[in-house]
Each structure stands twice: as C-alpha cells, then as structure tokens.
Amino acid sequence: MKWPAGTALARANPLTGHGRASIQISSWSCSRRVHTIPQWRPSSALDEWVQREARPISLRRLTFFGRTLTESRLLDSANYCRLELPTRIAHRLRDIQTLPYVVVANPHLAHVYELYLRAFERFRRVPEIRSLEDNDQYCNVLEETLKEHATVIPRLAIGVLEVRGSMRPEETDRFMNTMLRSRISRRVIAEQHLSLTETFNSPWHFPNAQPVHDPNAEAVGEIFLKCNAKEIVEHCGKTTQELVKRAHGSHLHIPEIEIKGHLDAAFPYILSHLEYIVGELLRNSIQAVIEQRKFKDAKPPPIEVLICETAQHVIIRISDQGGGIPNEVLPHLWSFSKGPRREKRLQNLARVPKLLGTLQELQIPGDNPHEGHKKHGKKHKHGESSQQHGSLSTLTSRPPDLRLGIGLPMSRVYAEYWAGSLEIHSLEGFGVDAFLQISKLGNKNERLTTRATMDA
Ligand code: COI
C-alpha cells in the first residue's frame, strides 16, 4: 500500500494533527520491507523532550535538597524541576496522541490534553534558574499551573467512562494508571520545590547563616520524616466517622476503630498520600458495616486495624465485618472503567461537570497548592508535630455522597507509587481485610510503571 509522503502512521489525532507516535513515513511502500519506516528523527520540541528519560526520585533523594537548605541547593532543586516537569509531561502528551481517535475526541480527555500541552509549552521555555528572583518567578508559574490542573482527575475519570467501549478495559486501566502516577510524580516534584522555597523565604530561615543539619527536623518540604501509623489511622478514623455521621445522621451507630500492634511504627512519607489511602479504606469499611441492615439497632462490630512493622516495611491491615464485597464486583475492584457499578458511577459523575467550577469539592492529595504554599502563610512549622498538620482536606472537602468511583484504584496508585502495595481480601458474607504495605526506609525510587505493565 502506498502512503503519501509525510503521512502519519495511524489516523491523525484530531487534537494535534499528529499520528500514532508521530512516526512519519516517506513516499515508499509499507508492504515491502520493515525498514520502509525511515529512521526516526526529532521533528518538534515535543519529540525532543519525549526522548529524555525521567530522572526518578525517592523520598530520601527529595529530602536531600532541603536537609541543609542553602541558596545553591534551592536553585539546584528549581533546575531539577525545570527540566523534569516538561520531560514527564511530554511523555504523557505522547501517550494521549497514541489513543484512538474517538477517545481523544472526548471533550474531557481533550481538555486534559490541552492543559498538558499548555503546561508543556510554558515549562519548556523557562530558562536556567540562576537567582532567587528567577526562582520566585518560576514558583509563580508552578503555582498557577498546579491550580489550573486541579480538575484533571475528575475529567480523566469521566472521560474514560464516557469512552468505554472504544478501548479495551485493560488498556483504559493501563492508561489511567500511567497518567495518574505521572501526575502524582509531577505534583510531588513541584510541591516539594514550592515548599522548600517557602521554607527558605520564611522568617525562621536565615539564608546567610552557616547551614546546619537538624537531626530533629520533623519535615523536609512536603515529606514528613516520622509519620506515625497509629496517629494517622486515629486521625483519619475520627474524620471519617464524622463525615459518615454527617451523611447518615448522628442517630446512627458508627463502628469504633480499634488499633493494635506496633503502635510506634514510623516512617518517612508524604502525609496527604497516606491520609488519602487510609481515609478511603476506613470509609469503605465504615460504610460497609453501617449499610448492613442487621447492625441498624445494635452496636456494630469495630473496625480492627493491625499495624505490623518489619525491617523494611510497615503493614497496616484494616479488617471490617461489613459483609464482604459482592462476587460480581470483585473482579473489577481495581478498574477505572469496568464493573457492575459503572452505571451508578456515571450517574454520579453526571453531577461532576457542574462541580468542576467549585474545585474544592473534588480535591485529591496535592491538588490544593494554596493549602501548602500560600505565599504569606506557612502550612506548618518545623518542630511541630507532623500529625497536627494533617489537614485531611482530601477527606473533608468532597461531599460524602459524591463518589467518583475511583477511590480504591486511586489508593492503589498512591500505595504503589512509593513502592508499596494495596491488597483487598474479601470474605464473602463476613467482611473485608485490606492490606496496605508501606516501604518504610524511603530509599525506593518512585514507581512510574503501571501494574499492568509490570505484570505483562
Ligand atoms: C498536574 O497537576 O497534572 C501537573 O502537571 C502540575 C504541574 C504544575 C506539575
């Protein structure tokens, strides 16, 4: 078959005019020999950036710039962000370009693409950051972009549900996993830098003093060095109980949360990520227990949380007696697009566009840049207990009855991102055991590869 010169391999993408992977074909026959596709040459800024590899981060490496914060380290951190963000966005733009036509034509997915393209163009043009003034300007760009991207997750969630049928569910899930991990990573990198800048500019920081390493520091930027598992479970538990009470009425018996095991277990982590996962698991458990009619008039059985610390990991097991997960739901538990609850999700999501204007209601960890990076107000001071700062915005800011339907798969994306895992075991007719495993040394690289890819 003859292709005209310059024809893209796949059908042109409506957003970009690019074809699949932007491989251009010269004017010769495709059918004759494999090498009819000429050597791939960068043809645009995007092509150039796509060729760069992401430089992976770990919690430990992220704390490096900030442990003894000097001007030169702050500028190193800024320049790391400056190169890393457009690289990571470029990879995702290319992913979107390779989706089938009907998928990228979906208005929500098209909107996400436009946001990413704008951010890419903005970020790639930032020149080397050489001074604190340059850094201040750069931080303004970061803050602005973080705000602009606040609706990305609900838009992706609605988009993939709307285009179901045009993509295989496994492909959709792989796409969502990759998009979400990458987004977490970019927001971690951006927010860590904003946080370090805020610390550097704070009245407690003396830029000209001899830099000292404070071994008792509670946090470096966004990373809390000693997240205490028990305190986080308690804190998330109280907030979730409150939310459920608000949704169902205070007359209702809410299950207690009993915590046992290694109550001193502590590890470095990003608090909002952990709060999201633990909050989601506890909410599922509490809701399952109270939805069981048999506990309506009696004291319901408690949610039992066991914390287990090993040399490398902290494992949090959350066990409820909420009747387990129905068999027809179980195979689709981790899917963003498939399963018997899909129609219900779509009905719920139909409300979302109206809410997209009121973003506070849909926040996911790290989605509220102003929470942590208000120019004139500090989110936390070093030396205060980390648990005092858990704003739990993610649990409290979403209307309790608005379920995007992605809480569990999203929690697993968060758990796996920092080299942990999340598993659910359902005991039919009895209850559920959720196992959250956290890598406790903070030395593991972020996981940008999706589970589907790893399994393949
Ligand atoms: C995102 O939220 O998707 C972003 O890419 C944010 C950006 C400031 C790094």
Phi/psi at 187 (5° precision): -70, -35
Q: Among 373, 348, 372, which Cα is nearest to 361's?
A: 348
**Cα of 338 vs its chain's centroid, Å:** 20
Confidence of residue 155 (pLDDT cuts 50, 70, 90): very high
Confidence of residue 291 (pLDDT cuts 50, 70, 90): confident
- Ligand 1 in contact with 190 (CB < 6 A)? yes
CA of 387 to the centre of ligand 1 (A): 26
Contact 109, 15 (CB under 8 A): no
Please give the number of the atom of ligand 1 that sits closest to the Cα of 150. 2
Q: Among 281, 313, 272, 210, which Cα is nearest to 397's?
A: 272
CA of 453 to the centre of ligand 1 (A): 23
For residue 303, give the H/E element and its range.
strand 303-309
Give me the interface pTM, i.e. the ipTM: 0.97
Task: Convert the pLDDT of each residue in 209-229 to its tens digit.
Answer: 655 556 567 899 999 999 999
CA of 31 to the centre of ligand 1 (A): 42
Task: Convert the pLDDT of each residue in 23-44 to its tens digit.
Answer: 332 222 233 333 333 344 445 8
Name which residue sits closest to atom 2 of ligand 1, judged by CA: 149
Of 118, 139, 183, 195, the residue with max ligand 1 atoms within 8 A of its CB, to mutate for a pocket test, comes to 183
Please give the number of the atom of ligand 1 that sits closest to the Cα of 152. 3
Confidence (pTM): 0.81
Pairwise CA distance, residues 288 & 282, whole Å: 10
CB neighbours of residue 83 within 10 Å: 16
- Ligand 1 in contact with 415 (CB < 6 A)? no
Name which residue sits closest to atom 7 of ligand 1, judged by CA: 146
